[in-house]
Amino acid sequence: MMDKWTIGKIYFGILGVVTLAFGIADLLVTAGGSSFSLGILEIPNDMFRGGWGGLVVLFAGLFYLSGLSGIKNLSEIHQFSKVVMGSILIWVVAGCDIFVMITGSIPGEEAWFNTLEGFFGTYAPPYPPAILLLPFSLAVIYYIKKGRVE
Amino acid sequence: MIELTVDERWDLIDKISKQTVKFKKYKSTLKEVIGELTVKPLTGIPIAIAVLYGFWSVFSSFAGFFTDGFLVKLFDEHWLPWMQGTFPGGLHNWFYNLMVDVGHIQNGALVASDSCFESFGVLTSGLFVPFGVVLPAIFIFYLMMAVLEDVGYLPRLAVLVDTVLHKIGLHGYAIVPTILGFGCNVPAVTATRILETRKQRFLMMTLLGIFIPCGAQLGIMQEVIPEYTGLIILYLLFGYFVTGFILNKILPGRTPEILIDVPPYQRPLTRNVMTKVWMRLSSFLKIAVPFVLLGCLIVGVMYLTGSMDWLANLFGPIFTHWFGVPKETVGPLVAAFMRKDLAVAQLSAIEMTKYQMVTSVVLVSIYFPCLATLAMILKEGGKELLGALAVLVASTFIYGGLIHLIWILLGVA
């Protein structure tokens, strides 16, 4: 039976591939010039969020994958730190995306404050890739705590 | 007393250490390993790119939230109409023009302005720009800067960029005044004290004064020409490195190595962060804001007395032929001497191509340090100010002309 570190290796391997793919998609969509939307996913096409942000997402994917290369399991600290860094990079981009939503949801167009409908509407899908990756990246916290106990 | 030979002393040391010191394999902590990742170029550069992304994203969202969300409404819909209604005089009164609104010509008639970006009065634009646009921008800027310092990231960034900055005669810690300059050049010039030699301080002050746009400019750029801001910053950073490289070759003096004490990553202390933010904000409020108001007044006087038109006619041919920008930009570019931020706002109202707009805003940035920075360079650098000004004039002409040349070669100018 696989131990939790081995499961972690497989989990972050898959997450790394998906993150890398999202990063590449971000850059391609930005280069293409028009935004892309599919279900709850929306890839922005502006140079800042799509270009620069996409580059950071791509780096996050590379961190995940390089953290998993050449090791038997995830508990090796130098490699595990790269996995943690991959998650931190996703938190940076997703945190910025959420902050944009918060700052955009409060002021109104004409009035001082937004309507209740407009306020909640800001948080409705579609979401950029980093926000979709955010819940999956949080799994690293479990492994950080597990590492501390061991 | 027993006399011991050298060997006996070492034996004694061994015995004591065996009884008192425990030896085992050191196990690095996650915090330490992450600290190493942020310093190594292969992993540190992507992390720096991510940190700067977060920095810029929070900066623009926060500044936009306060400025666009609330302060523009406060100043344009309440403060400006109230001042226009209650201040004595009117559009044909010079004192009213200076203090409240210069107005603008519409269908042959002089009409009141409807935004603080256009009014150019000391009590309207003069208050709106520093408090409505710049203050939220530099508050969040200094807050994030202080958090990064306290967390322990800035010393690591200094180590990371040390090699690059040595190419332009500086060292890793020059990143501190450089980043501070993006908030306000006034505390950034003070922060050049971190550099050891006169050559380094002169270099840093010159580069700050010319190539680093302050929070005021960035705030206005984000407000009126957001689509060009990234391109303009790229041009300025390019100029920063090229000019620094040339100055390093020309200037005599030493550029010593540094030994940086890199602290472990730690949780930032609220008290430390707030003290740093207040210290830097108070420097902006005490020194920069009075100069902003004075600058607004002087620009208003120059427009009213016609001296701006005179200067525009005098410098017109140079601007249009050498820099390739329309004749109408001369006024804002001359006014940039007093008020860079409002000059950018003025430029946005002039009809120009994308390339002319980029050139004009780059020129506004490198044209002259704002009055407050000039005063601070004079205080910190003294007689070196003259040297800095000579570099500035040369850089403006060469760099401005070079951008025009690039547009010509690309066939867009």
Cβ atoms of residues B97 and B24 within 8 Å = no
Q: Is residue B10 part of a domain?
A: no
Using the Cβ of B65 and the Cβ atoms of chain A, whether some distance falls under 8 Å is answered with yes
For the segment A121-141, what is each residue's pLDDT rounded down to a tens digit?
999 999 999 999 999 999 999
- The continuous run of DSSP H or E covering B110 comes out as strand B109-111
pLDDT of residue A72: 64
Q: CA angle, A109 as apex, B112 and B110 as ends, to 5°? A: 10
Judge contact between B154 and B263, C-beta under 8 A: no
Give B53's contacts in chain A (Cβ within 8 Å). 52-53, 56, 92-93, 96
Matching residue, tokens 């950073």: B237
- Predicted pLDDT at B81: 93
Amino acid B263: pLDDT: 86
- Token pair listed for B26: 């050191």
pLDDT for residue B151:
92
Residue B25 lies in a domain: no
Q: Is B119 helix (H, G, I), strand (E, B) or coil?
A: helix
Instruction: For chain B of 413 residues, list the mean pLDDT of each consecutive stretch of 10.
Output: 84 91 83 90 93 88 88 92 90 88 79 82 85 84 89 89 88 86 78 83 86 78 75 85 89 81 88 91 80 79 81 82 83 72 75 81 78 74 73 82 86 74
Mutate to test the interface with A, among B32, B39, B61 (most CBs of A within 10 A): B61
DSSP, collapsed to helix, strand or coil, labels residue B353 as: coil
Residue A75, SS3 per DSSP: coil
DSSP assignment of B230-280 equals HHHHHHHHHHHHHHHHHHHHHS-S---------PPP-PPPHHHHHHHHHHH
List of chain B residues whose C-beta atoms are within 8 Å of the C-beta of residue A88: 50
Does B87 map to a domain? no
**Domain range holding B244?**
33-79+115-410
Q: Which of B50, B64, B70 sits opposite A92 (nearest CB)?
A: B50
Q: Tokens standing for A109? A: 């167009």
Cβ of B53 within 8 Å of Cβ of A53? The answer is: yes
Write out the two tokens for B37.
């990742």
Nearest to B57 among A47, A96, A112 (CB): A96
**How many domains in chain B?**
1
Mutual orientation of helices A4-32 and A53-68 as an angle, nearest 10°? 150
Instruction: Identify the DSSP state of A72.
Output: S
Q: B222 near B63, Cβ under 8 Å? A: yes
Cα separation, B308 vs B97, in Å, equals: 15
Contact state of B47 with A81 under an 8 Å Cβ cutoff:
no
Helix pair B41-66, A53-68: axis angle to 10 deg: 150
Contact A78 B33 (CB under 8 A): yes
**A91 in reach of chain B (CB within 8 A):** no
The gap from C-alpha A68 to its chain's centroid, in whole angstroms, comes to 18
Residue-level pLDDT at B135: 85
pLDDT given for residue A73 in this prediction: 65
Q: Does A9 touch chain B (CB under 8 A)?
A: no
Cβ contact B84:B112 at 8 Å: yes
**Closest CB to B61 among A60, A62, A99:** A99
Buried b (16+ CB within 10 A) or exposed e, A118-150: beeeeeeeebbbbbbbbebbeebeebeeebeee
The per-residue pLDDT for B338 is 63
Residue A150: CA count within 13 A, CB half-sphere: 13
Pull the structure tokens for residue B242.
Answer: 């090229």
Cβ separation A96–B61 shorter than 8 A? yes
> What number of C-beta contacts closer than 8 Å exist between A and B?
82
**CA pair distance B247, B250, nearest whole angstrom:** 5
Q: Answer whether B69 sits within 8 Å of A92, measured CB to CB.
A: no
**Number of other CB atoms surrounding residue B393 within 10 Å:** 11
Residue from A48, A66, A113 whose CB has the most chain B CBs within 10 Å, to mutate: A48
Question: What would the DSSP string read from start to end of B33-98?
Answer: HHHHHTTSHHHHHHHHHHHHHHHHHHHHHHHHHHIIIIIHHIIIIIIHHHHHHHSSS-TT-HHHHH
Interface contact flag, B56 A48, Cβ < 8 Å: yes
Per the model's pLDDT, the better-predicted residue between B57 and A89 turns out to be A89
Residue in A77, A89, A103 closest to B61 by CB: A103
**Token couple for B196:** 């050891």
Tell me how long chain A is: 150
- CB-CB under 8 Å, B50 with A89: yes
Q: Judge whether B136 lies within some domain.
A: yes
Determine contact: B232 vs chain A, CB below 8 A: no
Residue A10 CB partners (closer than 8 Å, separation 6+): A2
- What's the predicted TM-score (pTM) here? 0.82
pLDDT computed for residue A58 by the predictor: 96
Q: Which of B340, B332, B345, B363 is nearest to B292 (CA)?
A: B340
| pLDDT exceeds cutoff 60 at A149 | no
pLDDT digits (tens, 9 = 90+) for A30-84: 888 788 888 899 998 887 888 889 999 999 999 999 988 766 667 788 889 999 9
**B124 Cβ contact partners less than 8 Å away, ≥ 6 residues apart:** B75, B79, B80, B83, B100, B101, B116
A92 close contact with B: CB closer than 8 A: yes
Tell me which chain B residues have a C-beta less than 8 angstroms from the C-beta of A77: 27-30, 33
Distance from CA of B46 to the nearest CA of A (A): 6
Is residue B308 within 8 Å of residue B328, measured between CB atoms?
no
> Which pLDDT does position A15 carry in this prediction?
95
CA–CA distance, B297 with B112 (Å, rounded to integer): 18
Name the more confident of B286 and A21. A21
Q: In the 3-class helix/strand/coil scheme, how is B356-384 assigned residue by residue?
A: HHHHHHHHHHHHCCCHHHHHHHHHHHCCH
User: Which residue, among B31, B33, B151, B229, would best test binding to A if mutated, counting the most A CBs under 10 Å from its CB?
Assistant: B33
Domain-embedded: residue B173: yes
Q: Dihedral of CA B139/B145/B148/B150: which sign?
A: negative
Question: Which pair of structure tokens corresponds to residue B227?
Answer: 């689509």
Is B93 domain-assigned? no
Given an 8 Å threshold on Cβ–Cβ distance, is B58 in contact with A99? yes
ipTM of the complex: 0.94
Residue identified by tokens 């409908």 is A117
